[in-house]
Amino acid sequence: MISPLKIAVAGLGTVGGGVVKALTARRLDLTERAGRELDIVAVSARDANKARGFAHTNWTADPLALVKTDADVIVELIGGDEGIARQLVEAALESGKHVVTANKALLAKHGKALAVKAEKNNLQLKFEAAVAGGIPIVKALRESLISHGIHSVKGILNGTCNYILTEMEASGRSFAAVLKEAQAKGYAEADPTLDVGGGDTAHKLALLSTLAFGIAPDLGAMRVVGIEQITPADIHFASEFGFRIKLLGVSRRSHDAGQGWVIEQVVHPAMVRARSPLANVDGAANGVVVDAGEAGPYFFSGRGAGEAPTASAVVSDLVEIAQGSFTQVFGRPAARLAKLNAAGAGATQSAWYLRFEVLDAPGVLAEIAGQLSQTGVSIESMIQRGRAPSESVTIVMITHETAGAAVERALKAIAASDKVRARPCMIPMEAA
């Protein structure tokens, strides 16, 4: 039999521990699948004495020391887009070692440069675990759905946000109340900003965009809106219109007469039809819809985080390396990844859900409708709730399809009115 694939694991948290356990518990089966043994020759973690449920092998506190071992592959599970994680991945690739990582932040920021380095040295840089946990979406976009090209990718990519929105809908409680509960249960971090602000979804979307469209990861060109401003009222009204609210990462290609093909990348809360596949991804699950042109739409769903699903993705990458398969990091030569030709700000074409908190006074509705009309926004349907002179009432509208920039201009003017008591809410209606 071929000599074993020697593996060093940096980071023994939830995922790293899961990888070690999986490689140990399923050693014989994985050896058969890989055609060679998968041996852990070294591990790195900050605390050697922490109980983890497995024995340590050649432990070191310094992750960079793993590069000096005889490992063939470094598994980087430290996290972070700079610091020791970046140093370790770069050092591994410079030392002739393959890399498997779950670090979406690192790849979203430095993915092209790292991929160029890997391919120049005939090394593998694999990252199935970096996007949507155990869902094999990276492999699907890189290798499977390539014959007719990709038109769009959209997905629920953050389990924390999906859990919060699902619980808000089920219980009628506020964002703040459900977030506090999620933190108590361990579903949300003590500092949840990266999750609820959309940053985590943005990192993952940048990688999906690169795989789908052959562009270098570009976070700077991405519009990112989180879920902090979503209210129980928005969720209730969405249900009345036959929709559910989900935080989506969306990347799509469209033709602009002046620029040719452009790519729009956006992370935002969106209303999706209640009977669509994405609308029925609940709790901490993830889901991705890919429009592969003539090949048709494809829907992927599953657990997007946690020990077992994420470790499963890491182990899958390790088995492929052990088998000797070679794939370009992003499915095409990394040096040729194109600079993003980004769609303009506010380019999203959609119907829009609009919510206004206004004084119940004569002329308010006419003023709102007039401002919308001036920017070319037409109204498809409307709901007004409450009747309370001198107090706030809620007006909800659904527009016909129009560019987001036109709606934003109207809302800016409407928000300046002394009859408007809160910042208007604007949510796109995504066909999903």
The single residue listed with the structure tokens 């990709």 is 150
Distance of CA 92 to the CA centre of its chain: 26
For residue 297, give the amino acid letter: P
Query: Catalytic annotation on 204?
Result: yes
Sequence-distant (≥ 6) Cβ neighbours of residue 294 within 8 angstroms? 148
The answer to whether the beta carbons of residues 424 and 354 sit under 8 Å apart is yes
Q: Match 């994985």 to its residue by tokens.
A: 30
Closest-CA residue to 203 (of 221, 219, 220): 219
Helix (H) / strand (E) element for 257: namely none
Query: Token pair 């009859």 is at which residue?
Result: 419
What sections of 215-303 are H helices per DSSP? 232-240
Q: Report DSSP state, residue 321.
A: H
Confirm if 201 and 157 have CB atoms less than 8 A apart. Answer: yes
- Give residue 114's region: left, alpha or beta (phi > 0; psi -120 to 50): alpha
Give the DSSP H or E segment for 100: strand 98-101
Q: What is the CA radius of gyration of the chain?
A: 24
Inter-residue contact 350 to 430 (CB < 8 Å): yes
DSSP codes of every residue in 148-196:
S---EEEEE--HHHHHHHHHHHHH---HHHHHHHHHHHTSS-SS-HHHH
Between CA 59 and CA 10 the distance in angstroms is 10
Cα gap 296→89, rounded to integer Å: 37
Choosing from 104, 204, 246, 339, the catalytic residue is 204
Catalytic machinery residues: 204
